[in-house]
Amino acid sequence: MPRAPRELLHSFRGEELLADVIAGLIGDARHVAVGASSPIPAAAALLARERGRLYVSLLGSQRQSFFTDGGRELFDCAGQGRIDAFFLSGGQIDGEGNINLVAIGDYAKPKVRFPGSFGSAYLYYVVPKVILFRLEHSRRTLVERADFISAPGTSADNVYRPGGPVALITSRCLFTFDRRRRRFALASVHPGHALAKVIENTGFRFDQPPEVPVTAVPSPETLRILRTAVAAQLIEVYPQFAMEVFGVPQSV
């Protein structure tokens, strides 16, 4: 695959920024699994693998997966403690890390119906590092209290729960999550976005430091890796994303 032009390495797209941030959140995980319809988390996991030793299981891929039985094997591995990080999203995410993947409004007569919970509640309990991801950062998606809790962010103290959320990343900022306090804290605001707009568009309260840092931008080396090695691996499952973000021809 051709290298990205040198002059492009010092500019970046929002998707590349988010992938870089998420790769940092993956940290020292040994095995990361990525579910369906998650191109940015998939790019992040592959980027993290390029930086060091890491197993990546990308559902829907025959090349980038250690699973031979899809979701069923994913659940088995997670229950055995063999998956260290996973990604979840939702139609609504509230201030306690609860996710709504079912409906908005009255359950019997909802205003909006979502695809459903699938294995989110189970994985939320057993995967130690769950990274929440929601591109739309608005008061309709980040709410004070979810209309329906598909997967709870925290549990009672007497419930054994090794898993749960560690962070929430959006198109505007990065939040970390304190499981003990059941509360988000603003970690950084992405370049080009203002703290006032983050507050205005967030439906739940959160902690913040006196001086909120700006999210670090991807380095030229990170952009090179994303646009070459990572992009080439994404084509199999996310050809449209690879073409739109990285300019990779779908025939590559």
Render pLDDT for 222-235 as a digit per residue (tens, 0 to 9). 999 999 999 999 99
Confidence of residue 251 (pLDDT cuts 50, 70, 90): low
Nearest CA among 184, 98, 172 for reference residue 134: 172
Residue 100 is inside which H or E element, if any? strand 99-100
User: Could you tell me if residue 1 is inside a domain?
Assistant: no
Q: Tokens 């690879």: give the residue.
A: 242
Render pLDDT for 94-129 as a digit per residue (tens, 0 to 9). 999 999 999 999 999 999 999 889 899 999 999 999
Q: What is the CATH number of the domain that holds 71?
A: 3.40.1080.10
Q: Tokens 């419930």: give the residue.
A: 159
List CB contacts of 27: < 8 A, sequence separation 6 or more: 129
pLDDT score of 250: 57
Average pLDDT, the chain: 92
Q: Give the DSSP letter of residue 208.
A: -
Strand segments, DSSP code E, in 115-250 are: 129-134, 142-143, 165-170, 173-178, 183-189
Indicate the number of domains in the chain: 1
Render pLDDT for 21-69 as a digit per residue (tens, 0 to 9). 999 999 999 999 998 889 999 999 999 999 998 999 998 888 888 788 7
Which residue range is the domain that position 91 belongs to? 6-246
User: Could you tell me if residue 108 is inside a domain?
Assistant: yes
User: Could you tell me if residue 137 is inside a domain?
Assistant: yes
